[in-house]
Amino acid sequence: MDTVRRQSLSVLVDNESGVLSQVSRMFSRKGYNIESLAVGTTDNPAVSRITIEVMANDQQTNLLCNQLRKLLPVHSVKLLDLEKSIRRELILLKVHTASNDACNRAIQIANIFRASIIDVSTTTLTIAVIGDAQKTEAIIDLVKEFGVLELVRTGMVALERGADTIYEATKEKGEFDYGKNVL
Amino acid sequence: MQMTGAKILLECLLEQGVDTVFGYPGGTILNVYDEIYNYGDKIKHYLTAHEQGAAHAADGYARSTGKVGVCFATSGPGCTNLTTGIATAYMDSSPVVFITCNVNENLLGKDAFQEVDITGITMPITKCNYMVRDVKKLADIVREAFAIARSGRPGPVLIDIVKNVTAEKTDFVSLPREEHASHGRLGALIRRASHDLKAPEPDLGDVEKLVEMIKNSKKPLLVCGGGVVRSRAHKEFLELAERIDSPVAITVMGGGGFRGRSPLTTGIIGMHGSQASNMACDACDLLIAVGCRFSDRVALEPQSFAKQAQIVQIDIDRAEINKNVEVDHHIIGDAKRVLQLINERVEPQTHEAWKDYVFSFKTETEYDTCSHENTLTPKQISDTVASICPEDTVVATDVGQHQMWVIQHFHYDYPGQLLTSGGFGTMGFGLGAAIGAKVGNPDKTVIHITGDGCFRMNCHELCTEQFYNLPVITIVYNNGTLGMVRQWQTLTYNGHYSQTTLDRGPDFVKLAEAYGLGGKRVHTVPELEAALKEALSCGHGYVIDCAVEIDEMVRPMVPVGGKITQFLVD
């Protein structure tokens, strides 16, 4: 309960300007650093889904969720159970490949991780890898020996396993079974 | 009918029943002010000396009447001057709609003259804010803004309109207020699953559980917070307190939520809480807090707060539950409705032994009067004011020692009687708030209690008082120092009075006269009585400058982060 751990929040919001700033500001205002952030529209173009990861204990996270729910552009907030969720992130890595040998070994590593080589030049390889934190960290570690010139990541996106969705009414008490959030 | 944005804005105010606004004009808001000129017979505009004064006046108007306050300002410095007022309203959950204008659409983002990103600035101090860049959306946004300001946990909302929108024309059809919730943006918001305008109906299981807890409690304590005032739930609260025969501690924001003269009241709770309140909090076995967020001035040390008690929190805002103090049980809902449901179910009780224990401690601190020959004690001032002014006098305070004294010693009987910046602690709040309260309650006596430090901050609003003939009585607790800071310096900074001594002008009596108001400096109770009587009968604003000892302290006091019973001074 009191241990600070990685928490993943899925937030449905209006797809309007200023909304991301409102949401992210809530975290800085309450003193949290956003560890990972991914935003994009859903199947409904008027609604975006934000996946946010922060380091916090359970109680702090519940308070954060409640604060988020008060924001008008926020439709719903789901605190994801990390054990029961699939989390994925896309990483692009530009690796320095000084020799043929380095190039070959980098390609081998990429193959082992089922990553794809998406760009190549005489001295570099760009690798795209999709995976959870464990997989992406592992490949970054391995290609370090060649020299990582650049790295970019999308931020974690996550969905619950199984049939549960964010739209469902299986809400904790104190969330929606009291009725709606009063404006 | 085709109308300009400015005219639509004023028509929308009429839809909301607004007849009073406060504000200050400027370049970008000229079109709106041109319509204010045309609507002069329907909407009365009060021009203040400074935008901050207008913000506090709209806030004071809202707090004292329960209606939504409205305040106008221009772009740039006009709206940044509002920000202290907006934050004050936000921290104390006061419903005010702030309307500002910004530069023309084509100049946005060009650092134009008097341009500022006010929606960005006010994001953390408003319930929500809007920037209107399309005249077709204006009416819809104004309707939503008013609904949001007043619903649920009330609070300030800001609408920023670019100047060209106020001049552009579109079709406008007036819509009665009851229908707003089923139309436009607001309708869409409510049709969505997550939000509603109405407070949720309290969960009956939760209510039953609390009733059971009350039944099993031998030593209950009720805490009356600001939510009781906002919900105007004072009657229901009194009924519960009397029915379960429980002592009642009142927070600073709760003043007026529970009858101050009731034999059940233990006085205020927290840092400057009475001995009775704080001791009761420490010893009770059930603490029921209504509309109270356990701020650091109430629950100074959250871990030890009411440690023997089961704590129950009743609040409309679920984000307040467990925020500052971990509670054992909570009920979400409007205070009035929750209290009604409890009252319908709870059995009458008596707690004689417990009350004997609680009231064996003092509910009010006595002050030594004999050492003062030419000065007044805080208690003498409040007692004299209470004995001469009508019982329903509205009191607006600034922040500091005088605020605590007047909350400790003056008794408040109804919501809106005490107007004080409890959350944000804004020095200079009082005069503007008093002006707003007098505008909203022309038949009531309104007094503004202040200190010499606070008064100096915004005393220019005396001209507003004079111009509109609003007879507010200002009572200055003049101790020649920033008393509350000095008190801390005395107690915890070895008496290093760093930059707190105010041995300087102006002469407040002459200042009042310069503004065309009456004034008197008083040193004794008979002088104060005479001045008060004159102030009450003169028909215009009046400043009474009371001489108070520089080392007078607010008693009792619990240090920051301390245990609630560890009094630094008794």
Copy the structure tokens of residue B212.
Answer: 């059971």
Per-residue pLDDT, averaged over B23-41, amounts to: 97
- Pair B134, B169 in one domain: yes
Chain B residues inside the 8 Å CB shell of A21: 120, 123
- Pair B319, B461 in one domain: no
pLDDT on residue A76? 86
B146 is catalytic: no
Q: How far does the CA of residue A1 sit from the closest CA of chain B (Å)?
A: 13
Neighbours of B263 (CB within 10 A): 10
Contact predicate B37/B63, CB 8 Å: no
User: Residue B216's domain is classified under what CATH number?
Assistant: 3.40.50.1220
Chain A residues inside the 8 Å CB shell of B122: none
Taking phi over 0 as left and psi of -120 to 50 as alpha, with beta for the rest, B559 belongs to beta
Neighbours of B208 (CB within 10 A): 13
Rounded Cα distance between B223 and B217, Å, is: 15
Rounded Cα distance between B469 and B465, Å, is: 6
Q: Which residue blocks in B232-351 are alpha helix, DSSP H? A: 234-243, 275-283, 335-345
**Closest-CA residue of chain A to B125:** A29
pLDDT on residue A131? 94
Q: Tell me if B552 is assigned to some domain.
A: no
Rounded Cα distance between A156 and A134, Å, is: 12
pLDDT on residue B188? 83
User: What are the two backbone dihedrals, phi and then psi, of residue B242, each rounded to the nearest 5 degrees?
Assistant: -70, -40
pLDDT on residue B23? 98
The total number of structural domains that make up chain B: 3
Q: Tell me if B565 is assigned to some domain.
A: no
H or E element that contains A63: helix A58-70
Contact predicate B218/B357, CB 8 Å: no
Q: What letter does residue B544 receive in the DSSP assignment? A: E
Per-residue pLDDT, averaged over A155-180, amounts to: 67
Any B CB within 8 A of A1 CB: no
pLDDT over threshold 80, residue B194? no
Per-residue pLDDT, averaged over B380-399, amounts to: 95
Q: Tell me if B370 is assigned to some domain.
A: no
- Pair B229, B185 in one domain: no
**Number of helices followed by number of strands (H, E) in chain B:** 23, 21
pLDDT over threshold 70, residue B202? yes
Residue pairs spanning A and B at CB distance below 8 A: 76
At A97-121, the pLDDT tens digits run 989 999 999 999 999 999 999 999 9
Copy the structure tokens of residue B524.
Answer: 């004794």
- Pair B208, B190 in one domain: no
- Give me the residues of B, 81-120, that contact A with CB < 8 A: 119-120
Q: Tell me if B308 is assigned to some domain.
A: yes
- Pair B154, B7 in one domain: yes
- Pair B398, B421 in one domain: yes
pLDDT on residue B186? 87
- Pair B245, B157 in one domain: no
**Which of these is catalytic: B110, B113, B198, B510?**
B113
The pLDDT-based confidence of B196 (bands split at 50, 70, 90) is confident
Q: Tell me if B338 is assigned to some domain.
A: yes
Q: Tell me if B509 is assigned to some domain.
A: yes
Helix, strand, coil distribution of chain B in percent, nearest 5: 40, 20, 40
pLDDT on residue A172? 45
pTM of the complete model: 0.94
Q: Tell me if B174 is assigned to some domain.
A: yes
- Pair B225, B265 in one domain: yes
**Scanning the structure block, which residue is given the tokens 């009356």?**
B224
- Pair B338, B387 in one domain: no
Give residue B43's domain range.
Answer: 2-194
At B206-253, the pLDDT tens digits run 999 999 999 999 999 999 999 999 999 999 999 999 999 999 999 999
The pLDDT-based confidence of B369 (bands split at 50, 70, 90) is low
- Pair B235, B180 in one domain: no
pLDDT on residue B191? 79
| Residue B104: alpha-carbon gap to chain centroid | 35
Last residue of a domain, one of B292, B326, B358: B358
Q: How far does the CA of residue B291 sit from the closest CA of chain A (Å)?
A: 15
Angle at A84 between CA A80 and CA A87, to 5 degrees: 70
- Give me the residues of B, 412-451, that contact A with CB < 8 A: none
CA dist B272 to B355, B489, B490, Å?
Answer: 21, 16, 16
Q: Which of A30, A134, A151, A21 is nearest to A87 (CA)?
A: A134
Any B CB within 8 A of A179 CB: yes
Chain B residues inside the 8 Å CB shell of A176: 193-194
Q: Tell me if B91 is assigned to some domain.
A: yes
pLDDT over threshold 70, residue A165? yes
At B125-173, the pLDDT tens digits run 999 999 999 999 999 999 999 999 999 999 999 999 999 999 999 999 9
Rounded Cα distance between A21 and B119, Å, is: 11
Instruction: Provide Rg for chain A, Cα atoms.
Output: 20
pLDDT on residue B367? 66
Last residue of a domain, one of B194, B224, B259: B194
At B279-318, the pLDDT tens digits run 999 999 999 999 999 999 999 999 999 999 999 999 999 8
At B439-454, the pLDDT tens digits run 999 999 999 999 999 9
Last residue of a domain, one of B292, B327, B358: B358
Instruction: Kindly report the average pLDDT of chain B as a whole number.
Output: 95
Copy the structure tokens of residue B462.
Answer: 């005396």
Q: Which of B80, B87, B100 is nearest to B159 (CA)?
A: B100
Q: How far does the CA of residue A71 sit from the closest CA of chain B (Å)?
A: 8
pLDDT on residue A1? 61
| Residue B1: alpha-carbon gap to chain centroid | 40
Angle of helix B335-345 relative to helix B204-216, nearest 10 degrees, comes to 60
The DSSP annotation for B79-97 comes to HHTTHHHHHHHHHTT--EE
Per-residue pLDDT, averaged over B75-96, amounts to: 98
Contact predicate A155/A89, CB 8 Å: yes
User: Residue B514's domain is classified under what CATH number?
Assistant: 3.40.50.970
Render the burial of B356-389: b for 16+ CB within 10 Å, e for the rest: ebbeebbbebebeeeebeebbbbbbbbebbeebb
CA dist B524 to B158, B358, B405, Å?
Answer: 46, 34, 18
pLDDT over threshold 70, residue A182? no
pLDDT on residue A177? 40
The interface predicted TM-score of the complex, written ipTM, equals 0.86
Taking phi over 0 as left and psi of -120 to 50 as alpha, with beta for the rest, B38 belongs to alpha
pLDDT over threshold 50, residue B472? yes
In 3-state terms, what secondary structure has residue A124?
A: strand
What proportion of chain A, given as a percentage, has pLDDT over 70?
91
pLDDT on residue B364? 84
Angle of helix B51-65 relative to helix B83-91, nearest 10 degrees, comes to 20
The pLDDT-based confidence of B187 (bands split at 50, 70, 90) is confident
- Pair B176, B280 in one domain: no
Copy the structure tokens of residue B265.
Answer: 């009241």
pLDDT over threshold 50, residue A176? no
pLDDT over threshold 80, residue B368? no
Instruction: Provide Rg for chain B, Cα atoms.
Output: 24
Are A174 and B200 in contact (CB < 8 Å)?
A: no
- Pair B189, B220 in one domain: no
pLDDT over threshold 50, residue A173? no
- Give me the residues of B, 138-157, that contact A with CB < 8 A: 147-148, 151-153
Chain B residues inside the 8 Å CB shell of A66: 318-319, 321
Are A72 and B189 in contact (CB < 8 Å)?
A: yes
Rounded Cα distance between B87 and B104, Å, is: 27
Q: How far does the CA of residue A36 sit from the closest CA of chain B (Å)?
A: 22
pLDDT on residue B370? 57
pLDDT on residue B381? 94
